[in-house]
Amino acid sequence: MTDKIYLFDTTLRDGQQTTDVNFSVSDKVVIANALDNLGIDYIEGGWPGANPTDNQFFERKLKFNNSSLTAFGMTRRPGISAANDPGLNSLLNSSAETICIVGKSSSFQVKEALNISNSENLKMIEDSIKEISKKNKQPIFDAEHFFDGFKHDKEYAISCIKTAYDSGARWVVLCDTNGGTLPDEIFNIVQEVIKHVPGSSLGIHAHNDTDNAVANSLAAINAGVRHVQGTLNGLGERCGNTNLISLIPTLILKTKYKVNVKKENLKLLTKTSRILNELLNKHEVKQAPYVGRYAFSHKGGLHASAIDKNPLTYEHIDPEIVGNSRNVIISDQSGKSNLLNQFKKMSIKMDGDKINDILSIIKQKEYEGYSYDTALASFELLVRKELGQINKYYSLQRFRVTDERRWNAKGKLVTESEATVHVFVKNEERITVGIGNGPVNAIDSALRKALTSFYPSLENLKLTDYKVMILSPEKGTGAITRVLIESKDDKNNHWTTIGVSPNIIDASYNAIYDSITYKLFNDLKS
């Protein structure tokens, strides 16, 4: 049997069934082109006839270099011929080269969901696949609820997939629709199925409800299937689908199997994952395997020291292979190796005595509540201030924040914050007022008004995330508060800063101050 595995991406269809995920037509085009650039065999674009977005997407008639555009739909309906079924005809009349239809493969589902006979369901599968072949489109059959159906009624489940195969389906895909099957079960069932349908025509479609979708896909492949379906970042109904971002590098780097994705294209994985997050305005999973920002992070001093000598000591692959990078974390667990690694990235040179001083300062700051694990911008500022490399771009004299909660004349509840800041910038005094939808937004607004005329690049500064952690909850409302602020600029540079104080507004201001200072330092340095 061939060792080639055919990759089928359903981000634009099953991925769109993720709660709070809605793709525009332009989003779909961007994602489809990214998948084609990777080298994915099949791109399932959606369901023509189901909604205007999918209709418009297929009307684009995209041309791919590596991928086959695939339309998704269902078998013909009961009591109507395949040739006269409007849903099936929408698929056949689309620009798709491949048609993937879903049909029941569980006698329980046939009875409970469709309320038809087992024989009628088999005829629906047969007629639909033959009609697709007649129109010179490649048919794929998704055997919905196959594994549950197999455990409930083995003979009927097998008769469904055998009917699909005998009718001309290029791929018969075994679906773990409810996501409750475990890897050993998948392996054993696939091995039995192969006695009836060859592995060279079998696929796997796994859901992640037990956090086993990737493992289940690998188990099915090892058992003999040669087609695997999944999504970018594991999007999908409920808990998601097989994460192709994890599966693809695992197949290429860890197994004997071949895929259409070239090894050099693995460098696109991290970028592709982040493109999807940006389109959806979703925060990335920072500890995601291979592509997460923390996937190759090292915090312990022992780890950092070993990594500096040989990365293989604590890394299973070179992060650059998948377009990611190594990150040595600064924390109270840090040693000199952690610091030296970060200094190298920041182009900071320092002698041994000064390194010891910095390490002591960091450990004291973390004792006070600071954490530089993610707030590397604040860490860099701390170090450069100790070295006398940071200018004071402005000085704050005071600020005041007021919050108002009221009902307007129309009886609508209104909440509003107002901040007044008093600063000196280049020996000039500025007093400005900012309005915001919260105290932090108001302070940021007032500061921008005061500073932008002196530093125009601050117009491009955006605060993109705001996190608060209570460090001493036993003190109640007097607890120490840690604030993390993530910022970005118009060049898509991201950085994180930190502030700590018993006063949440003061902690927020400290984080904002570092964010502004970090941007100005990088903008104005020669």
State what percent of residues in the chain have pLDDT above 70.
94
For β-strands 413-425 and 395-407, DSSP reports them as antiparallel
Domain span at residue 415 reads 394-454
User: Which pLDDT score, from 0 to 100, does residue 335 have?
Assistant: 57
My answer on whether 348 and 474 are in the same domain is no
As given in the structure block, the two tokens for residue 98 are 């491949």
My answer on whether 418 and 322 are in the same domain is no
The SS3 assignment for 521 reads helix
Number of domains in the chain: 4
- The mean per-residue pLDDT over the stretch 414-423 comes to 94
143 within domain boundaries: yes
Nearest-angstrom CA–CA distance, 71 and 45: 6
- 308, pLDDT greater than 80: no
In DSSP terms, which residues pair with 396 in a beta bridge?
423
Nearest-angstrom CA–CA distance, 516 and 473: 30
CATH number at residue 94: 3.20.20.70
Phi (first) and psi of residue 290, to 5 degrees: 70, -50
As given in the structure block, the two tokens for residue 90 are 């929408």
Nearest-angstrom CA–CA distance, 314 and 296: 9
Nearest-angstrom CA–CA distance, 248 and 35: 12
As given in the structure block, the two tokens for residue 9 are 């991406």
User: Which pLDDT score, from 0 to 100, does residue 163 have?
Assistant: 98
Of 432, 454, 476, the residue that ends a domain is 454
| Sign for the pseudo-dihedral over CA of 340, 346, 349, 350 | negative
- 203, pLDDT greater than 60: yes
38 within domain boundaries: yes
* Torsion (CA) 279, 283, 286, 288 in degrees, nearest 10: -50
Nearest-angstrom CA–CA distance, 281 and 96: 29
My answer on whether 357 and 504 are in the same domain is no
Residue 434 amino acid letter: G
283 within domain boundaries: no
For residue range 357-377, list pLDDT tens digits in order.
Answer: 888 888 888 788 887 877 889
148 within domain boundaries: yes
My answer on whether 222 and 304 are in the same domain is no
DSSP type of residue 306: H
Of 454, 478, 503, the residue that ends a domain is 454
- 415, pLDDT greater than 60: yes
The SS3 assignment for 155 reads helix
- Say if residues 153 and 107 touch (Cβ distance below 8 Å): yes
For β-strands 138-144 and 42-46, DSSP reports them as unpaired
Side-chain half-sphere CA neighbours of 95 within 13 A: 15
Q: Is residue 453 very low, low, confident or very high in pLDDT (cuts 50, 70, 90)?
A: very high
My answer on whether 202 and 56 are in the same domain is yes
For residue range 149-195, list pLDDT tens digits in order.
Answer: 999 999 999 999 999 999 999 999 999 999 999 999 999 999 999 99
For residue range 422-443, list pLDDT tens digits in order.
Answer: 999 999 999 999 999 899 999 9
Of 454, 470, 498, the residue that ends a domain is 454
Cα→Cα distances 278→266, 268, 282, 337, 487, Å: 20, 15, 6, 34, 14
- 418, pLDDT greater than 80: yes
For residue range 51-90, list pLDDT tens digits in order.
Answer: 999 999 999 999 999 999 999 999 999 999 999 999 999 9
DSSP type of residue 113: I
500 within domain boundaries: yes
My answer on whether 364 and 470 are in the same domain is no
pTM of the model: 0.73
The SS3 assignment for 526 reads coil
In DSSP terms, which residues pair with 327 in a beta bridge?
297
- Say if residues 434 and 377 touch (Cβ distance below 8 Å): no
What Rg value do the Cα atoms of the chain yield, rounded?
A: 28
User: Which pLDDT score, from 0 to 100, does residue 72 have?
Assistant: 98
The SS3 assignment for 381 reads helix
- The mean per-residue pLDDT over the stretch 443-464 comes to 94
220 within domain boundaries: yes
Please, which residues have CB within 8 angstroms of residue 312's CB and are 6 or more apart in sequence?
A: none
As given in the structure block, the two tokens for residue 119 are 């024989």
278 within domain boundaries: no
The SS3 assignment for 472 reads coil
Phi (first) and psi of residue 115, to 5 degrees: 55, 45
Q: Is residue 350 very low, low, confident or very high in pLDDT (cuts 50, 70, 90)?
A: confident
As given in the structure block, the two tokens for residue 305 are 């020291």
For residue range 248-305, list pLDDT tens digits in order.
Answer: 999 999 999 999 999 999 999 999 998 998 888 787 898 999 999 889 887 766 676 6
My answer on whether 322 and 199 are in the same domain is no
Strand order in the sheet with 481-488: 462-470, 481-488, 494-501
My answer on whether 110 and 247 are in the same domain is yes
CATH number at residue 481: 3.30.160.340
- 480, pLDDT greater than 90: no
My answer on whether 87 and 160 are in the same domain is yes
Mean pLDDT for the chain overall: 91
As given in the structure block, the two tokens for residue 475 are 């003190």
190 within domain boundaries: yes
- A 10 A CB-CB count for 15 gives 25
Strand blocks (E) in 249-383: 297-298, 327-328
Nearest-angstrom CA–CA distance, 423 and 205: 60
Nearest-angstrom CA–CA distance, 168 and 206: 23
My answer on whether 489 and 352 are in the same domain is no
My answer on whether 50 and 146 are in the same domain is yes
My answer on whether 344 and 312 are in the same domain is yes
CATH number at residue 445: 3.30.160
